[in-house]
Amino acid sequence: MYNTIPDQLRKLAIENVFSTNTYKTCWQTWQPEIIRLLGNNYTENEILNLGDHLSDIFRSTGGGGRGQGELSAGGTAWESLVCWYINFCTIGSRVVAVKKMSIVPKAIQDAITINYGNFACNTESDITIIVFPDLAEYNTDITHLNILNNTGNRIQPTVKNRINSEIINHLTERDFNQFEIGIIQCKTNWNDNAQIPMLWDMIYSAGGFRNRNITIGRNGYSIQDAQSFTYSFVTVPSNQNTVYNPNGVAVKRVTNLSGGNYWGNPSTQNVAKSLKEIFTNNFQSGSRTGLRTDIRAAIPELTANNSLSYFGLY
């Protein structure tokens, strides 16, 4: 169970999150708070509703300094918490959140690359969302897959008990136009950073430029050829004593992002949505039966010795 290609990539993504010292330190505080919020005999409602409390969970580790080191560590921790939460809510689906760019399929890395002259960058992509197509290869236990590479040889699904990047890259190249892609920029501070996602979303939405030195995609892969593409902003926010309203500059800058504007609090109309709303807004097609049904089915597996123990709840 939970041994499909999306499931295995999700496991790898979460293991990478837990591999950082920053996250492991924060998790010592966050884990008891998450368990308290879930309560006993929790359902899919309590899991999804963690999105209303992510900011409080994040702040429970203290900090809040403005030194560069503290800002960097805080940003890394926030990105990691958001990545953990999104994957937690998409267990069993074909939606996967990846923080570490090196494990994103190469075709998707190429598609989201911005080229400015001879300089290429992967934008402010703190988290990449991948929605795998609803095809047999992505819904089947990987041990039963018989995928042949371009030379006709079978690709081993795993290497040292981990998903083989060759099989993911091969299938992503083959089925690229059926993939859905999302980029999420995560920032602890809203006021200082709101203009960044606004500008990047403009670039991705433009589709073309009069200045031919600015292009999107490489190696023949472009977001224009994917099934869909969204760009979202997720903030704590950490700005103290700031009241956000629909007419504020920071809010206006992210109001029309293609993927939406979210925070780790309950939704406030015309300001920001709770992060729990990102699933129905952007990634609803990633499940055959619905994310709520997938979460409900996964709950018995979230115990210490079962297949989803890598989420670190127990």
Q: Could you read off the pLDDT of 106-141 as tens digits, one per residue?
A: 999 999 998 877 777 765 568 999 999 999 999 999
Please, what's the largest Cα pairwise distance for the chain?
62
In this structure, what DSSP letter does residue 154 have? B
Cα distances from 292 to residues 48, 103, 227, 234, 276, in angstroms, run: 9, 27, 23, 22, 12
Query: Alpha-carbon distance 311 to 88, whole Å?
Result: 7
β pairing state of 127-131 and 180-187: antiparallel
Three-state secondary-structure class, residue 97: strand
Quote the CA–CA distance of 105 and 169 in Å, as a whole number. 5
Mean pLDDT of all residues in 74-99: 96
**Domain hosting residue 116, numbered range:** 5-181+207-224+278-311
Q: pLDDT tier at 206 (50, 70, 90 boundaries)? A: confident
197 occurs within a structural domain: no
Q: Tell me phi and psi for residue 112, to 5 degrees.
A: -95, 5
Residue 50 covered by a domain: yes
Neighbours of 137 (CB within 10 A): 17
Which two structure tokens, joined as six digits, stand for 253?
A: 């800058």
Q: Could you read off the pLDDT of 27-76 as tens digits, one per residue? A: 999 999 999 999 999 999 999 999 999 999 999 987 544 433 344 468 89
Residue 249 included in any domain: no
Angle between helices 68-89 and 5-18 (to 10 degrees): 150
Does some domain include residue 170? yes
Q: Which of 70-79, 187-196, 223-232 tops mean pLDDT? A: 223-232
Is residue 225 classed as helix, strand or coil in its secondary structure? helix
For 275-312, letters b (16+ CB in 10 Å) and e give bbebbeebbeebbeeebbebbbebbeebeeeeebeebe
Taking Cα atoms as reference points, which of 294, 295, 259 lies closest to residue 275?
A: 259
Q: Is residue 216 part of a domain?
A: yes
pTM: 0.94
Q: Answer whether residue 271 is part of any domain.
A: no
Total number of domains constituting the chain: 1
Contact by Cβ (8 Å): 116, 213: yes
Amino acid symbol at 42: Y
Within 10 angstroms of residue 201's Cβ, the number of other Cβ atoms is 23
Angle, CA 177 vertex, CA 176 and CA 181 arms, to 5°: 75
265 found inside a domain: no
Helix (H, G, I), strand (E, B) or coil at 283: coil
Residue 112 placed within a domain:
yes
- Please state the length of the chain: 314
252-279 pLDDT, tens digit each: 999 999 999 999 999 999 999 999 999 9
Report how far residue 140's alpha carbon sits from residue 144's, in angstroms, rounded to the nearest whole number.
Answer: 7
The residue with greater pLDDT, 207 or 74, is 74
Helices (H), the chain: 5-18, 21-38, 44-48, 54-59, 68-89, 106-111, 136-139, 165-174, 195-206, 249-254, 278-282, 291-298
Q: What is the pLDDT of residue 239?
A: 82
With beta carbons less than 8 A apart as the criterion, state whether 267 and 241 touch: no
The CA radius of gyration of the chain, in Å to the nearest whole number, is 19
